[in-house]
Structure 1
Amino acid sequence: MLPWTTRIRQTPASLASRTPVLTLEKKNSMSNSIVKDMIEAGVHFGHRTSLWNPKMAPYIFGRKNQVHILDIRETLRGMLRAKKYLSQVAAGGSLILFVGTKRQAGEAIEKEALRCGMPFVSERWLGGTLTNFRTIRSRLTRLEELEKLRDNDQMDMYSKKMQSSLNREHRKMYRNLNGLRTMNRIPECLVIIDPGKERNAIREAKRLGITTIALIDSDSDPDLVDLPIPGNDDGIRSIELIVRQLADAVREGKGESASEEKDSAPAPAVETMAPAPSTT
């Protein structure tokens, strides 16, 4: 036990659930490296003890200076489960939607979603993004129309007032919809930063039976999501580390899918040359 923490009483069930991770850490030195990176990024820092959600007790190691310390082993366990699932989803060719609209999360969500080729929401969750998908697609069509007007220099045919209105419409739609351009169908899974902040997204996902993965802090309700990853959801470095790991899993899954398609593809037909005509 670290000397500066006060240990929270754990139930036998919660202690037993950690055994697989401890075994994994011994077998895989990479896990130890990830844990070190997590600690350096402050992933283990929770909120003030007065703000905690009692449902988070199994994921809390202790407290320091009235701040909860999250159990980094539980963070690793949750992240590995999420990575395995995301890799399988990506290998199957399904979409994964990254969601994080809080100030600390937006940049990491956009960067990592683009890196792994998945849609994202980093500014504002529009009501009906999932449950009214047809309307969202129609708005994306409108966004593309506005961009064609601009790119083809057709804006000059409108009055200055109309140009100003169209530019304002484009800026607003681009800010809210740009990350959804590649979402041509309902996603299989949502990756979320702070479920308390993204309740509307979670509500729509549950309604459609979409799996949810979330980075959850000590003030969160883990029952809101299917695959919780306990960790600091306010620190920029913490968010960047977790989202980067999840995006890596998506990329790995896509690579597996590509290699499987290559292996299963029929061998190209061998072209046979016709015999040369006789010169005699």
Structure 2
Amino acid sequence: MLLRPYLKRRTSFAGIRSLSIQVKPVQSTAVAEKDNEIFQHPDYFGIHRLFTVEDLFKAKVHFGHKEGTLNDKMKGYLYGSRLGHCIIDLDKTAEYLRLALNVTAHIAYRGGIILFLNRSAQNGHIVERTAMECGEYSHTRFWRGGIFTNSKVQFGAVTRLPDLCVFLNTQNNVLEMHRAVQDAAKMAIPTIGIVDTNCNPNLITYPVPGNDDTTSAIELYCKLFKNAVLLGKEKRKESQ
């Protein structure tokens, strides 16, 4: 199933009161100190070791679409053009990608649900395999309206929505944006999106400029996000 339902735990009032008196102060103090340490650390999960600009270049992340399809909102992410094709600035891509990976690791560390999305039939199986390997969720088929905005009616139960959506492709087709980008924005769900030169990055919380078509680029993105999720989960086990 795509989304994970909430589990309700029944406890007596006396048990709740006893728990809050004996355990909660110690636990909350320890958690607060740990969270403060993590948030103040410049790179708690070691994201900077996952990739280099050379890795991005070899995966053809800098290849954009033709100049005629350029979205005006993507001009700030370009290095230039060559033979009529836009070239993405990999230094900026590396900066935004490290930020996105760090956010992913933090959410995985706190036990959040991460949903990977992609609409490319060519690369859908790569995204699905990545989600399975890191123990998260994926959606690579047609996006049915109301999955986020009307989940109670769609699933017939109180449903927990994802804590983060990772879009390996933000376009539904050449002309239209993926419907889930709009739905996530309506429900205030944070999003990470690989935005090519023909995409609109405005509705993405953490946009990452890069090629969203080439298989080598998608494989690199999936590998990096999988490693970020696993790093967050490993740190969570250590802290517990």
Alignment TM-score > 0.5, same fold? yes
Aligned to 1:195: 170
AA matched with 1:117? G
- Structure 1 stretch displaced more, 120-129 or 225-234: 120-129
- The superposition leaves residues 90-130 of structure 1 with CA deviations (integer Å, 9 ceiling, x where unpaired) of 11111011000212331121011111111110122121221
- The superposition leaves residues 200-219 of structure 1 with CA deviations (integer Å, 9 ceiling, x where unpaired) of 10111111100010001011
Residue pair 1:48, 1:66 contacting (<8 A) in 2 also: yes
Same amino acid, percent of matched pairs: 30
Instruction: Report the Cα offset of residue 132 of structure 1.
Output: 2.2
Aligned to 2:14: none
Change (3 A) 1:257 1:29: closer
Q: Does 1:125 align with 2:104?
A: no
Instruction: Report the Cα offset of residue 195 of structure 1.
Output: 1.8
Aligned to 2:53: 35
Residue pair 1:96, 1:189 contacting (<8 A) in 2 also: yes
Q: What are the ranges of 5 or more consecutive residues in structure 2 without an aligned counterpart?
A: 1-42
Q: Secondary structure at the match of 1:69?
A: strand
TM-score normalised to the size of structure 2?
0.74
Residue-pair matches, total: 190
- The superposition leaves residues 170-208 of structure 1 with CA deviations (integer Å, 9 ceiling, x where unpaired) of xxxxxxxxxxxxxx6211110002223253101111111
Residue pair 2:65, 2:196 contacting (<8 A) in 1 also: yes
Q: Secondary structure at the match of 2:122?
A: coil
Q: Secondary structure at the match of 1:80?
A: helix
Instruction: Report the Cα offset of residue 136 of structure 1.
Output: 4.2
Q: Secondary structure at the match of 1:108?
A: helix
Structure 1 segments, 4+ long, off by >3 Å, are: 28-31, 135-138
Aligned to 1:225: 204
Q: How does 1:95-114 map to 2 (within 5 A)?
A: 95-114=113-132
Residue pair 2:119, 2:171 contacting (<8 A) in 1 also: no
- The superposition leaves residues 135-163 of structure 1 with CA deviations (integer Å, 9 ceiling, x where unpaired) of 4435xx9xxxxxxxxxxxxxxxxxxxxxx
Change (3 A) 1:30 1:119: closer
TM-score normalised to the size of structure 1?
0.64
Q: Which has the larger radius of gyration?
A: 1
Aligned to 1:238: 217
Q: Does 1:88 align with 2:106?
A: yes
AA matched with 1:82? A
- The superposition leaves residues 210-267 of structure 1 with CA deviations (integer Å, 9 ceiling, x where unpaired) of 0010001011111120101100001111111112201211111111111111xxxxxx
Residue pair 1:233, 1:239 contacting (<8 A) in 2 also: yes
- For the aligned residue pairs, the C-alpha RMSD in angstroms reads 2.1
Q: What are the ranges of 5 or more consecutive residues in structure 1 without an aligned counterpart?
A: 1-23, 142-183, 262-280
Residue pair 1:116, 1:250 contacting (<8 A) in 2 also: yes
Q: Does 1:186 align with 2:178?
A: no
Q: How does 1:1-280 map to 2 (within 5 A)?
A: 30=49, 34-138=52-156, 185-197=160-172, 198-261=177-240
AA matched with 1:69? I
Change (3 A) 1:124 1:29: closer
CA distance in 2: counterparts of 1:126 and 1:233, whole angstroms: 22
CA distance in 2: counterparts of 1:117 and 1:211, whole angstroms: 19
